[in-house]
Amino acid sequence: TGLASQTLVRAMSSSSGPTSPYTTLSISRPAEAITHVELHRPEKRNAMNKAFWSEMVHCFNEITVDPECRVVVFSAAGKIFTAGIDLMDMAGDILQPEGDDTARISWNLRKTVTSYQETFSVIEKCPKPVVVAVHGACVGGGIDLITACDIRLCTQDAWFQVKEVDIGLAADVGTLQRLPKVIGSRSLVNELALTARKMYADEAKSSGLVSRVFANKEDMMAGALEMAGEIADRSPVAVQGTKINLIYARDHSVADGLNYVATWNMSMLQTQDVMKSVQAAMEKKSPKAVTFSKL
Amino acid sequence: TGLASQTLVRAMSSSSGPTSPYTTLSISRPAEAITHVELHRPEKRNAMNKAFWSEMVHCFNEITVDPECRVVVFSAAGKIFTAGIDLMDMAGDILQPEGDDTARISWNLRKTVTSYQETFSVIEKCPKPVVVAVHGACVGGGIDLITACDIRLCTQDAWFQVKEVDIGLAADVGTLQRLPKVIGSRSLVNELALTARKMYADEAKSSGLVSRVFANKEDMMAGALEMAGEIADRSPVAVQGTKINLIYARDHSVADGLNYVATWNMSMLQTQDVMKSVQAAMEKKSPKAVTFSKL
Amino acid sequence: TGLASQTLVRAMSSSSGPTSPYTTLSISRPAEAITHVELHRPEKRNAMNKAFWSEMVHCFNEITVDPECRVVVFSAAGKIFTAGIDLMDMAGDILQPEGDDTARISWNLRKTVTSYQETFSVIEKCPKPVVVAVHGACVGGGIDLITACDIRLCTQDAWFQVKEVDIGLAADVGTLQRLPKVIGSRSLVNELALTARKMYADEAKSSGLVSRVFANKEDMMAGALEMAGEIADRSPVAVQGTKINLIYARDHSVADGLNYVATWNMSMLQTQDVMKSVQAAMEKKSPKAVTFSKL
Amino acid sequence: TGLASQTLVRAMSSSSGPTSPYTTLSISRPAEAITHVELHRPEKRNAMNKAFWSEMVHCFNEITVDPECRVVVFSAAGKIFTAGIDLMDMAGDILQPEGDDTARISWNLRKTVTSYQETFSVIEKCPKPVVVAVHGACVGGGIDLITACDIRLCTQDAWFQVKEVDIGLAADVGTLQRLPKVIGSRSLVNELALTARKMYADEAKSSGLVSRVFANKEDMMAGALEMAGEIADRSPVAVQGTKINLIYARDHSVADGLNYVATWNMSMLQTQDVMKSVQAAMEKKSPKAVTFSKL
Amino acid sequence: TGLASQTLVRAMSSSSGPTSPYTTLSISRPAEAITHVELHRPEKRNAMNKAFWSEMVHCFNEITVDPECRVVVFSAAGKIFTAGIDLMDMAGDILQPEGDDTARISWNLRKTVTSYQETFSVIEKCPKPVVVAVHGACVGGGIDLITACDIRLCTQDAWFQVKEVDIGLAADVGTLQRLPKVIGSRSLVNELALTARKMYADEAKSSGLVSRVFANKEDMMAGALEMAGEIADRSPVAVQGTKINLIYARDHSVADGLNYVATWNMSMLQTQDVMKSVQAAMEKKSPKAVTFSKL
Amino acid sequence: TGLASQTLVRAMSSSSGPTSPYTTLSISRPAEAITHVELHRPEKRNAMNKAFWSEMVHCFNEITVDPECRVVVFSAAGKIFTAGIDLMDMAGDILQPEGDDTARISWNLRKTVTSYQETFSVIEKCPKPVVVAVHGACVGGGIDLITACDIRLCTQDAWFQVKEVDIGLAADVGTLQRLPKVIGSRSLVNELALTARKMYADEAKSSGLVSRVFANKEDMMAGALEMAGEIADRSPVAVQGTKINLIYARDHSVADGLNYVATWNMSMLQTQDVMKSVQAAMEKKSPKAVTFSKL
């Protein structure tokens, strides 16, 4: 994390605005094989408006098929990570849904919720690992977002809040499904979800929500980049197969997971990457020294 | 947690005995929308006798349909939380079950165990969150009980013991099923269940079994009441939907959980509570300021 | 952990070599009902060669049916726990699998991986609890091994590394399936599996991978023996039923797990061990004072 | 099926009315160990009114614990089996459910539907086999009822109609869940459920909905009694274990089902009934010649 | 099925070619609320080329959100239903997939197969029932297609062939997953899939693959239209809820299915359609007489 | 089925006795790539004795790894297929199991049952299709056996009987788990399992238990051989992948099954067999004309 990387990080943070065609996301390539996605509505405290919900799907579908990208860093511009859903912009969909009777209104609401769920599920369906770096407040929809990411980092001043219960609803775009599988204490999960209390960085670390806490955003971004670099240096066959199998394992029995990975690896073990990696290991070289084909 | 609440807590703790028709449970309403259930056989160290096993079912079935109750605090009277099963009272059912041959004895034992399981499963089936406050010893059946609750608190002098292996049996009313989904360290779960060693408050906190530790019972009861108050202040549509979906998610894949909550919320989002809560949020009012209809 | 036990431990550690017919495992009985399995290729840093993969299956199948054994302690000889897979010895199977075309090579690879998976799954299928004691490095296949054990202990100098991604593959003999169900922080699991970074004893303890850390190997072996003794003293009907039901519960819903344990216990509660244990408990005797029949 | 049985059947059919405390069910014991439950609102075409929905639960809970009953025959009095739900009586619950807003109305509706589901699920939870004998029309709720039974018989003039789609709703008390697992042709299931067309006895037989068709009700009742007699003559340990395991198998994988039945039979094989039955078999006696203890 | 409908059917069959922007599908509206999708590459025996695989997804996504469509009839132009996959057109994707090594080729093949699976899964995800009408040969991919439809009809001259084993592969776009859940005889499923033998209309009917057989295509199309009309006349809330719940039930236990439909119907029962339908039923009117809002 | 094949069949039937080291099975190779396994204890009506239960496991494990075998025909010598379990030989294991108390007896019984289950599960785990040909009586354990096979054929004089209920037990080696997934009518499954009535060839055919009925054993064996030949002529990569995926699909949701087959085929599609088969198909040659490598 020397000078060069600090410059890099500063460059990342000074992004001048969303990347067209997006209006809420800024996309860059801070280093080889690393895509940086920045939530970029700082003037609105990165609140998630209608555009955001669909741009995320588009963005991660692109990343999924981009052979130049092997790992993603996700962070947010401005003072806080996100204030959550943009109630002003979304109110119509949720508070005044269309429909001739209750059943038809319900039908439309379900369609809306299902499509919002997809906004974060694309992160999981993308086989490239996503490292999320949180600073300041991460509220409501922010929790749904980060629990769908693979690795969570935060700054010392970060705080987290499952907010949905405060606006009269059960969280329905991922928090209730993923949070209990992300941290180990069910009592804590329930407390957070039922009381909407804030959780600060230290408890986020001790509870396992994040795996590292950094003194400030600059350090965190450097740390995130370094970690992403570690991942990007390794075989994409190994890395993406690992993500896919970790997610499969979460939702199946151990026996099913073992069967699946055996079937997965019957072809994936035939990659040149194993040979190249083994050779590097025997020559005491780091994976960074190896050039892997694109995937 | 000022003077008023301390008085309240003292009142709760000085309950003069079980509430008819119960002989092991004392029921009260320490604050609006909060039901306090106290295990009350202090002279028997709150050992779980036959009456207890059936009274719990009756009590939580009542709570489930009581529109005045939105959240439950569960604690125990006397010096300890519970010594576990009352071997004297239960010995007949378990040690001398009826039946003409092994198969028929087995049939009856299975009926007994299944009915005892229901004693704690009712806590889970009740959509109202249950905050359990543990002081002193929590042994054997006590672990089965608290792992079926939603939020666990304890005093500094509390200790926990999965005791069943000491009396020659695999725990069969919930501990082995729920404990591994309640705390994150499987090594610890196995150690506790296989060696019956005691776990004290600090480890209970660091392992995630409890989410808060209090200096003494009075503080804990005040803390439990305050937390219950936070929950009771929020929309019951949001709170109870959250509990139901958290439990559903535990037993299903993430995809199944997302499908379920979308189907759940297609009607629940149509509640006035969302509108009222959003309005309060925009006006920077707390949820406490909003009056929600009963559920 | 007096002098006697220290002598015992020293005896365990000074084992003169593998126990015939094994070439990689040393088997002993340090105390009644306790089997000690020691990974014993110290000159090769306990790397897992072909012989190891099949000897483990043979060894644990023997242990499963050995009525004299009630609990297993697994440790390793020499300076470190294990360097993981023995690439030199295994390279052929993995790097040059046989087959006339890609499909046939894949078919053979799947057969190989499936058989390697069995090497660790036998630990889980064996109903006797396995306490694993780790010192020094535990790399690659070592993680697959220890996550299949029931209770994990380590020395202060131990470190852990999910290494597979470094040699170009997704771990396929258990780590990706079991690690997320063994520790509570999914962010940490992903970080370890995707970056291959080392984790030291303190983080292993705080994350819940191990449940105890000891100053050195001697202390750890004494502690492991003592813990194994606690388990061995208890009813084997209770202990082995507990292990079987804990593993069943991991892979099923709570409702399914409750149904299963009720069906399990309808016969197991008819053991004399319950009567004997209850009587001992009433007489304030320890389980050690009771003699249980073999299972 | 000689004279005696015909008399018996006639007696069964001439039941003078519901059996107190029931108002919609007539209960009798036409032969040893056989309980006959007759849906008895002939003047209302056996339409399912509010009383029926709760009486069924009460009735089958009684049967479950009645040691004198080993098998149930279910049929209906009057001209047809059932016209389905009694819209007049039920309209309030369904058309004008209570609740202050959509969410609260939904909450109450879900409670109602869940309780109606229980009306037929009790048939499945009762371990005693239920033979259902259908004559004339079996409409709407009738299909929900018979698909929860174990063996289906009908008369030549019987017809079946999944009616719910005609009154604007997706069937929600069992038909959509059980019918596809009851008959083999998914195209037929879909056609019946989506078009509400009638299916007559011949197609019911060829599709596997019923396993036997009789010329008239008298013959059918004699056939049902004879079949029930065959079941009642056999070991209740064997019969009820068979029902429980068949239902378990429906909802689990084959591997899970095998694990469950092995755990079930580890005690059930210790019944005297096996010894008695084997002895009878070796002496070429029929099971009828054996006296089994009650279960 | 009078003159008018025959004219209609003739009109349907004389479609002059694919409907822009499609090149393999012809879309029409033969009657109110009914969409007719015709596979239209008659000169190529309706072989499934690359265009077809993506046009199906586009087409059914359109149908899903088209409020004017309540039910779909799917049939094929020309002499036969389909010859299956267009090997000429598809050979590249399957026989010469891109990739630098085996793992990367495998990765690309999996992406291709997964996207082809979606071609038929969209039929299932579309909540509107799909009636498929088969004439002449239905080979290979044709079986994958029709097993994803809801109701299957065929002409007397139709025949069916699971062809994949003949070209060296295990069917991977739906047949092996859905066929066993579509027909009741597993022996027959296995025989068809393992020997690639033809099955003719009579066996297709008796085995339950199709629910009706017609003398010729004209009669079948009239029959399909009539059946579609029956479905289109009913409440779309009821019809589409029925399809969604039938598919959910296939993939879950009965208990899970009941829970899901109760949660589904807590809102859907609040539709005006129930009131309108009940009123019509009481007035002995057919559902056709009722006008339902769009969904 | 000309003269040559009849001679072949006669040769198959005149096998002079079990093939060493087996005492209950006769193994032969009637045609290239086809293994014929004949149950051969005709003087004991092919009753299943202790030797049989273990020889089956050994035999099918051999077949699994025998590259010369691509398909299996299973039939029985003598007058009937099998009388089921050999009560005389097995009585000890089941009626007088060892153990110091009920729990230990249960433990041993479970071990026994689990090992007997494996006897038939090996048929399913063997990836080579098994065609079973039944003549005369197929009783008790015979049903467990044939439901684990892939394709069932029988003679006109065959009959089937789920016998276990007659000897006082719930069938525990496969019938209750597999039969409901093998035939479409659940009412029939229940009737057969609960009443132990015989089912004759015609009903076996119409219910889908068997897919073909032959006039006599000679014809059936010719038919079985011919069908086996059809399978043996096809690509073993295609055939065995088909069996594995059909069995996987039975125990998983459609979505899971599709995911699995896509992962399976990402390597298997790279076989030369596809190229060879496609070429043959284009040249209008039969698969028989193609030579496939061994698997």
Q: Inform me whether the pLDDT recorded for D3 exceeds 90.
A: no
User: Hey, are the CB atoms on E103 and A273 less than 8 Å from each other?
Assistant: yes
Q: Inform me whether the pLDDT recorded for D14 exceeds 60.
A: no
User: Hey, are the CB atoms on D260 and C264 less than 8 Å from each other?
Assistant: no
What are the C-alpha distances in Å from D74 to residues D49, D53, D130, D220? 18, 15, 7, 12
Instruction: Tell me the pLDDT of chain D averaged across its residues.
Output: 94
The interface pTM score, or ipTM, of the predicted complex is: 0.95
Search chain A and give the residue with CA nearest F268: A267
Segment B104-156, tens digit of pLDDT: 999 999 999 999 999 999 999 999 999 999 999 999 999 999 999 999 999 99
Structure tokens at D288: 């009828």
What is the arithmetic mean of pLDDT over E229-238? 97
Q: Examine the residue annotation and report whether B172 is marked as an active-site residue of this protein.
A: yes
Full DSSP string of B134-201: E-SEEETHHHHHHHTSSEEEEETT-EEE--GGGGTS---SSHHHHHHHHSS-HHHHHHHHHH--EEEH
To the nearest whole angstrom, how far is the Cα of A126 from the nearest Cα of chain E?
12
- What letter would DSSP give residue B17? S
Instruction: Tell me the pLDDT of chain A averaged across its residues.
Output: 94
> Looking at residue E282, what is its pLDDT?
86
Q: Which residue has the higher pLDDT, D59 or A15?
A: D59
CA B269 to CA B293: how far, in whole Å? 15
Going E75 to E80 to E82 to E88, the CA torsion angle's sign is negative
Q: Examine the residue annotation and report whether B203 is marked as an active-site residue of this protein.
A: no
Segment C34-92, tens digit of pLDDT: 999 999 999 999 999 999 999 999 999 999 999 999 999 999 999 999 999 998 888 77
To the nearest whole angstrom, how far is the Cα of E287 from the nearest Cα of chain F?
32
Average pLDDT along chain F, 295 residues, taken 10 residues at a time: 58 75 96 97 96 97 97 98 92 85 96 96 98 98 98 98 95 96 96 97 97 97 97 97 97 97 96 93 89 94
Search chain F and give the residue with CA nearest A257: F260
Q: Say if CB E176 and CB E148 are below 8 A apart.
A: no
Does E246 touch chain F if contact means CB atoms closer than 8 Å?
A: no
Q: E168: pLDDT confidence band, cut at 50, 70 and 90?
A: very high
User: Hey, are the CB atoms on A266 and C180 less than 8 Å from each other?
Assistant: no
Q: From the list F103, F268, F294, which residue is nearest C267 (CB)?
A: F103
> Looking at residue B1, what is its pLDDT?
43
From B38, B144, B150, B273, active-site residue: B144
Segment A82-137, tens digit of pLDDT: 999 998 898 777 788 899 999 999 999 999 999 999 999 999 999 999 999 999 99
> Looking at residue F10, what is its pLDDT?
63
> Looking at residue E94, what is its pLDDT?
79
Q: C27: pLDDT confidence band, cut at 50, 70 and 90?
A: very high
Q: E230: pLDDT confidence band, cut at 50, 70 and 90?
A: very high
Q: Inform me whether the pLDDT recorded for B5 exceeds 70.
A: no
Supply φ then ψ for residue F27, to 5 degrees. -110, 135
C/F interface, count of CB pairs below 8 Å:
60
Bridge partners (DSSP) listed for residue E151: E131
Active site residues of C: 85, 141, 144, 164, 172
Q: Inform me whether the pLDDT recorded for A255 exceeds 90.
A: yes
CA C253 to CA B178: how far, in whole Å? 10
Helix ranges (DSSP H) in chain C: 3-13, 50-65, 87-95, 102-125, 141-147, 175-182, 186-195, 201-206, 217-233, 236-250, 254-268, 272-282
CA D253 to CA F252: how far, in whole Å? 7
> Which amino acid is present at F130?
V
User: Hey, are the CB atoms on F106 and C294 less than 8 Å from each other?
Assistant: no
Structure tokens at C273: 């061990």
C64: CB partners within 8 A, 6+ apart: C122, C125, C126, C127, C128
Q: From the list E106, E184, E190, which residue is nearest F267 (CB)?
A: E106
Active site residues of F: 85, 141, 144, 164, 172
Does F267 touch chain B if contact means CB atoms closer than 8 Å?
A: no
Segment E77-102, tens digit of pLDDT: 999 999 999 988 987 777 888 999 99
pTM: 0.95
CA C263 to CA C257: how far, in whole Å? 10
CA nearest to C139, candidates C87, C89, C73 = C87
- What letter would DSSP give residue D84? -
Q: Inform me whether the pLDDT recorded for A231 exceeds 80.
A: yes
What is the arithmetic mean of pLDDT over C227-237? 97
CA A37 to CA F17: how far, in whole Å? 73
Segment F117-127, tens digit of pLDDT: 999 999 999 99
> Which amino acid is present at E261?
V
Segment A171-186, tens digit of pLDDT: 999 999 999 999 999 9
> Looking at residue F203, what is its pLDDT?
97
CA C198 to CA B283: how far, in whole Å? 50
- Best probe of the C interface among F104, F266, F292, by most C CBs < 10 A, is F104
Does B267 touch chain F if contact means CB atoms closer than 8 Å?
A: no
Does A174 touch chain C if contact means CB atoms closer than 8 Å?
A: no
Q: Say if CB E294 and CB E67 are below 8 A apart.
A: yes
Does D262 touch chain C if contact means CB atoms closer than 8 Å?
A: no
Q: E13: pLDDT confidence band, cut at 50, 70 and 90?
A: low
CA A282 to CA A287: how far, in whole Å? 11
Cis peptide before F30 (omega within 30 of 0): no
> Looking at residue D1, what is its pLDDT?
43
Does D177 touch chain F if contact means CB atoms closer than 8 Å?
A: no
To the nearest whole angstrom, how far is the Cα of B181 from the nearest Cα of chain F?
24
Search chain F and give the residue with CA nearest B106: F102
Neighbours of B, requiring at least 3 CB pairs below 8 Å, are: A, C, D, E, F
CA E267 to CA E274: how far, in whole Å? 12
What are the C-alpha distances in Å from B111 to residues B40, B254, C266, D127? 26, 33, 9, 12
Partners of D150 on chain F (C-beta within 8 Å) are 187, 190, 194
Segment D87-130, tens digit of pLDDT: 888 877 778 889 999 999 999 999 999 999 999 999 999 999 99
User: Hey, are the CB atoms on B268 and D103 less than 8 Å from each other?
Assistant: yes
Q: Say if CB D216 and CB D21 are below 8 A apart.
A: no
Q: A4: pLDDT confidence band, cut at 50, 70 and 90?
A: low
Give the rounded percent of residues in chain E with a pLDDT score beyond 90. Answer: 88
Partners of A267 on chain E (C-beta within 8 Å) are 102-103, 106
To the nearest whole angstrom, how far is the Cα of D225 from the nearest Cα of chain E?
29
CA E155 to CA E201: how far, in whole Å? 7
Supply φ then ψ for residue D251, to 5 degrees. -100, 10
Structure tokens at A241: 């197969």
Neighbours of F, requiring at least 3 CB pairs below 8 Å, are: A, B, C, D, E
> Looking at residue A131, what is its pLDDT?
98
Cis peptide before D21 (omega within 30 of 0): yes
User: Hey, are the CB atoms on A260 and F264 less than 8 Å from each other?
Assistant: no
Q: Inform me whether the pLDDT recorded for B225 exceeds 80.
A: yes
Place of tokens 């700082």: A42
